[in-house]
Structure 1
């Protein structure tokens, strides 16, 4: 004992400053093991139980040469005593969570085949078996068995403290001294330590409170805890201590004050010391002051009352839930659709929102319940959220506006806090409606909907798995509406205990067991052994009051008229955008059609009925065309037996604005049939070059009409265009469709001869060379002629190359023959 006290004195005076670094290292390893999804999760424990799950892969790294002491439970998942003890072991893990840098809890399922060799190496023959492994244990160490260990948390906690004190040589680096201190050490404390607060717990020799509080504050900086026995008369007299246990804060210079708590017990001491000014968790940034938050340019800080719930948080949670998380699912089907229907139904029934929000939730719920299919698209669901039908007085505000759930940093609190608040409000609202609702609401309705939503949509999948593990207890633990309220509160505190000290913890809002004694003193008490105890009747009363719809504050909310106006503006802008998009798509489609069929639209005017006229014709053009038609009629040899429809408009044109309907040039015409014994060059040209000919005709705006009815008409001359245009237009490839027309070879040859004469007469205007060129290029484009020229040149060059090659080769052979 003397040696241990000597070591305690040296640790007390000189080594305390090294604890934060060693504490952080040990905590990192232990957190690493806790977060790994080991195969042992198939046993009685999971990673959310804050218990290290041992496997053959990690057992040596946890137990051999570790800087922390470790308590291990060897169990079999089929063992009835192990199953009964598992709840106590879980509670113990949550109770001593803050001791992790110095002590860790682990478990291994010996019933699993892969773990049997590990259990045999540690000589495990019965279940459950608990062993204590000292810090820096060697590889051949099998641990110290805790025979006859107690089956309650308090007894196990005291037993573990006794085992910690058995360290003699290799004391865990992160563990502070647990031995009683003296006045001499207290007087020198601030000379060798830079902490802000020194807490002295005065107690009797058989008390564990001082050592438990010392370990509870192990992960916090700027505070140190020491145990003082009632036999230390100098300190007792100096501070005037009369009650044991009691806690005093001692400062440099000899100043001291008593720590004010509701009960002189471990939990109340630890909670009060953790909230002292300047006390922060190791490795966490200090809390940000309100002045800094207020002057932050990124987002304005909204002062709020921590003892009230804000509707802005609830509406922000709804917005993020329905417009962000659910939006990650493009198609909602199967179990996800069932979960969404249950979630919306609970919101429409129990959410204590404003009129516009409640109208929207009821509208969405009615729409969802009427969906008979197995799936819906999120676009359709979003249309309901955005009130695309523009129902009156119906809207869900967009955007997030956190108040009670705002964090000191943009990534802290916010949506998770908002969802927990929403869950609590819904369970309390269901309990409040129990007396007014004759149908007696289902006690598990809200919890079942929350469980389904978290499992299907909650973005943090690891959080969803932890919640699912807890939600399996709903079936056995929830039987009334008030038990549903208590169950959700207790599981929220369990999550707070697990996340305390995590990176997601806001230093301005530490994870504590809520409500704190300052917020609800009547909710706390102590048992006969000094352990903390919740008075659940008082807790229920507090929850029903805290989350009551009557106490929800509406500060920082947008006015309902502003929400509706923004919704209308968004709807109008969306409609305009849709119309603009449709217009663009129509124009693109029309442009695409015109590009794919560029000549069809140009020839439409010539292929319309008699009663249709072109829009871009002028009266002067019509007069000119009428004159051309009359000249053509005279040239073909006189009037026809029946008047043409073009004649009357030609006479009445000067009497009024009536515009004539022109008959298209190819109406009443059909292509010639090619006979085997006659090669009709005009028909060939019309068939293969009609598109180009029509394009030339459209660009030149020359309308050639073959006015034929019952008598055969010879092609008329085309003035000023040349023979190429006449043949290119395909006029010679058309023949009249007459009722008494005889398609004999003699008549065809006769018509061909007439056309040749017409072409010859027209070609007199050209010189001799141009006439031959025109004849040679009939039916051929410039590209065709260019290709022919190129091929001719290439073939000539190839012939020349072959000639030179054979000539050279012949000379070489003659030279070889002359040589002797």
Structure 2
């Protein structure tokens, strides 16, 4: 009894673990994304019997160790034969599932894994044909599958072309009965499987036919002068033949080259038209680009869509999603090879997220940081998409998914080049983002399953680069031929031979294999930050200028009035690259006019303002600004701060401009990002001018450089000169008048009180003195 009491606390855990076991068994070893048919008792008859396609079935048990070890081979075989599906398909059924147990007994399954081949149009009640191979590797299974396909007699699958060798008579009369554009002849020896594999690889494509010709067909061999076996040649109706140019004489290279022939498209799809990519397309403007390069426009578009569109679908972010977002922002700030303004914003975003100690944040608070409403210097993320390398022939193709894959690859390569990151830092951050925020939930599930399957094997930064590349190719294999595939950009195993010849090699058995070292070298170079194109990007200066606000619009000619505000606005436009050509040609003359204007300004400060008409001095110099009626001043502190700093930016730009012009032989080295960062020198302006600048900033009545210098000088002169300017810092004339009046009244009041108490004391002394 005591022993039972000690074990009692463990009972809930045991029950919970037992409850999970059936779920794990029911989950099986395969999913729909593995390109295999998942059989159930309700679908098994429809798939295996009276079907126009042959089916190869694996009967397995999810608890079987041999089945677990064989599952990756079966998945690889399914991916390798994905183009054969109209003629033969692969299926699986989990006999460990209680729902499937009777079905497995029905087919006589006694051990696992068991492979059975069902011919096309098999009759109901058939148990299939045992599929036995000595070596259970992909090549052996694929070749034995071809052998089983050739055992078809009268029930040949209608979607499957003939696999036997062609004769000279058949080839000579081929175009009389077929209307294809290309006829590919694979010359090979009798024991070669290359020709039959290529025939099945091209089964889903139109405008091309493939036939195999054995070396024993002497008539065709001598007619075309074929000496290499295997080799592939293209034969045309006019009787001439050309050899297919490939890097290596192997199945993979033949299939890839034939799929890229002119006019060859997937069955059921119209051929892509050149007009689809015309710049005159009303749906989108096509941007010519280099398919072998990465474009920064795609990366910035991916960030915008990710941070402003997908995250916006989550009003509140909490728990694991918040942790995933912090990791995502951290790797972006650390490894994104963007323009300075974008990197500054990502750092600000990362800093803000890491400082959040609450378990929940709102997207609205996050949006404040993304839109830089706190005015972090030179920090900006463009708020629009501009697809270039990821643009598709139609708006529904490629775009955001393509740009995210590109972003992922760039980040892993940047982490590899930095050499100061954890091997899984980037991968885990991307995994967390996809799992919690990626809009396509089925895609997110596929990515998560791939991560659970093998991401733990990544031990080095180079492993992370190659892992992401191999999984991207797996996704391409799964989506090849899907509705989401762009006909202009078919999903192939990347990089193709023409882009990276060294990445491809052939085993002694003739099987294609990737050269991992060459692939890694290619990926490092292709996704390197130094090779990213900046084409089609909006200039940083223009984006920052728009962030600061619209340019100042002048009402009258600045040369006539000598207005400093007009010159400041013009100098800022020049620094931002907006100076008209005519102004550039007259820059020397304008410098002299500015010098004269500065001298005349100094004279006016000495007292020449009295000679200027009052109407001209008080007239506003900026369109849309009028003198306001006298009213109570209510200042919005938030807008006041923004206006104050904008005024400082405009004034600093003018000072910087004048300083550069004043230096003999100086060059224009400023840029938009330097606005507001230049220090104010003590000798730039006279004391009165500085006080007027501070007065404009503190009153909060206008923004920027609103008033004429002449008007301010007149106001100061009418109140008594420069001393009043000192006393009136931050106050209007009405404020000073009221202050003087109150000061006078208070003085008189104090004097009266003093006199009253003095008389009272004298009066008391007089009473004491009386007898």
TM-score normalised by the chain length of structure 2: 0.68
Q: Given the superposition, is the C-alpha separation of residues 571 and 57 from structure 1 closer, same or farther in structure 2, using an over 3 Å criterion?
A: farther
The separation in 1 between residues aligned to 2:455 and 2:291, in whole angstroms, is 33
2:213 corresponds to which residue? 228
1:117 corresponds to which residue? 102
Candidates 158, 173, 183, aligned match of 2:158: 173
The separation in 2 between residues aligned to 1:105 and 1:164, in whole angstroms, is 13
2:438 corresponds to which residue? 458
Q: Given the superposition, is the C-alpha separation of residues 347 and 394 from structure 1 closer, same or farther in structure 2, using an over 3 Å criterion?
A: same
SS in 1 for 2:278: helix
2:450 corresponds to which residue? 470
Q: Given the superposition, is the C-alpha separation of residues 160 and 570 from structure 1 closer, same or farther in structure 2, using an over 3 Å criterion?
A: farther
The separation in 2 between residues aligned to 1:500 and 1:147, in whole angstroms, is 30
Q: Does 1:258 align with 2:258?
A: no
Q: Given the superposition, is the C-alpha separation of residues 196 and 65 from structure 1 closer, same or farther in structure 2, using an over 3 Å criterion?
A: same
SS in 2 for 1:505: coil
1:421 corresponds to which residue? 406
Query: Where do residues 55-454 of structure 1 align in structure 2 (5 Å cutoff)?
Result: 55-289=40-274, 292-434=277-419, 440-454=420-434
The separation in 1 between residues aligned to 2:132 and 2:347, in whole angstroms, is 61
C-alpha deviation, 1:529, in angstroms: 1.0
List per-residue Cα deviations over 1:263-293 (Å, max 9, x = no partner).
1000000000000011011122312316742
| Preserved CA contact (<8 Å) 1:520 1:542 | yes
C-alpha deviation, 1:134, in angstroms: 0.4
| Preserved CA contact (<8 Å) 2:247 2:497 | yes
Candidates 506, 527, 530, aligned match of 1:526: 506
| Preserved CA contact (<8 Å) 1:496 1:511 | yes
Q: Does 1:497 align with 2:482?
A: no
SS in 2 for 1:294: coil
| Preserved CA contact (<8 Å) 1:68 1:104 | yes
| Preserved CA contact (<8 Å) 2:455 2:467 | no
Candidates 556, 574, 588, aligned match of 2:536: 556
The separation in 1 between residues aligned to 2:228 and 2:532, in whole angstroms, is 43
The separation in 2 between residues aligned to 1:291 and 1:454, in whole angstroms, is 32
SS in 1 for 2:297: helix
The separation in 2 between residues aligned to 1:507 and 1:93, in whole angstroms, is 23
Give the gaps of 5 or more residues in structure 2.
Answer: 1-22, 553-634, 640-771
Give aligned pairs, total: 534
Query: Where do residues 511-522 of structure 1 align in structure 2 (5 Å cutoff)?
Result: 511-522=491-502
Query: Where do residues 730-749 of structure 1 align in structure 2 (5 Å cutoff)?
Result: none
SS in 1 for 2:273: coil
The separation in 2 between residues aligned to 1:51 and 1:88, in whole angstroms, is 12
Give the number of the structure whose alpha-carbon radius of gyration is greater. 1
SS in 1 for 2:403: helix
C-alpha deviation, 1:148, in angstroms: 4.0
The separation in 1 between residues aligned to 2:478 and 2:26, in whole angstroms, is 17
Candidates 507, 512, 515, aligned match of 1:535: 515
C-alpha deviation, 1:64, in angstroms: 1.1
C-alpha deviation, 1:52, in angstroms: 0.7
| Preserved CA contact (<8 Å) 2:115 2:130 | yes
List per-residue Cα deviations over 1:375-400 (Å, max 9, x = no partner).
11101101100000122211000111
RMSD: 2.0
SS in 1 for 2:369: helix
The separation in 2 between residues aligned to 1:270 and 1:394, in whole angstroms, is 49
| Preserved CA contact (<8 Å) 1:262 1:517 | yes
The separation in 2 between residues aligned to 1:331 and 1:196, in whole angstroms, is 57
| Preserved CA contact (<8 Å) 2:133 2:140 | no
| Preserved CA contact (<8 Å) 2:73 2:138 | yes
Structure 1 segments of 4+ aligned residues over 6 angstroms from their partners: 38-41
| Preserved CA contact (<8 Å) 2:26 2:97 | no
Q: Given the superposition, is the C-alpha separation of residues 476 and 369 from structure 1 closer, same or farther in structure 2, using an over 3 Å criterion?
A: closer
The separation in 2 between residues aligned to 1:424 and 1:443, in whole angstroms, is 14
C-alpha deviation, 1:40, in angstroms: 8.7
The separation in 1 between residues aligned to 2:370 and 2:89, in whole angstroms, is 49
| Preserved CA contact (<8 Å) 2:300 2:382 | yes
| Preserved CA contact (<8 Å) 1:40 1:55 | no
Q: Given the superposition, is the C-alpha separation of residues 141 and 282 from structure 1 closer, same or farther in structure 2, using an over 3 Å criterion?
A: same
SS in 2 for 1:427: helix
2:571 corresponds to which residue? none
SS in 2 for 1:473: helix
1:506 corresponds to which residue? 486
The separation in 1 between residues aligned to 2:149 and 2:189, in whole angstroms, is 19
SS in 1 for 2:157: coil
1:687 corresponds to which residue? none
C-alpha deviation, 1:150, in angstroms: 2.5
SS in 2 for 1:450: helix
| Preserved CA contact (<8 Å) 2:276 2:393 | no
The separation in 1 between residues aligned to 2:170 and 2:132, in whole angstroms, is 37
SS in 1 for 2:209: strand
List per-residue Cα deviations over 1:27-72 (Å, max 9, x = no partner).
xxxxxxxxxxx99971111111111111111111111111100000
List per-residue Cα deviations over 1:2-41 (Å, max 9, x = no partner).
xxxxxxxxxxxxxxxxxxxxxxxxxxxxxxxxxxxx9997
The separation in 2 between residues aligned to 1:149 and 1:462, in whole angstroms, is 38
| Preserved CA contact (<8 Å) 2:87 2:160 | yes
List per-residue Cα deviations over 1:128-179 (Å, max 9, x = no partner).
1000000111111000011345311000001000000001011111111101
The separation in 2 between residues aligned to 1:542 and 1:173, in whole angstroms, is 42
SS in 1 for 2:58: strand
Q: Given the superposition, is the C-alpha separation of residues 514 and 290 from structure 1 closer, same or farther in structure 2, using an over 3 Å criterion?
A: farther
| Preserved CA contact (<8 Å) 2:25 2:62 | no
The separation in 1 between residues aligned to 2:346 and 2:273, in whole angstroms, is 38
Query: Where do residues 686-765 of structure 1 align in structure 2 (5 Å cutoff)?
Result: none
The separation in 2 between residues aligned to 1:72 and 1:292, in whole angstroms, is 44
Give the gaps of 5 or more residues in structure 1.
Answer: 1-37, 435-439, 573-578, 584-820
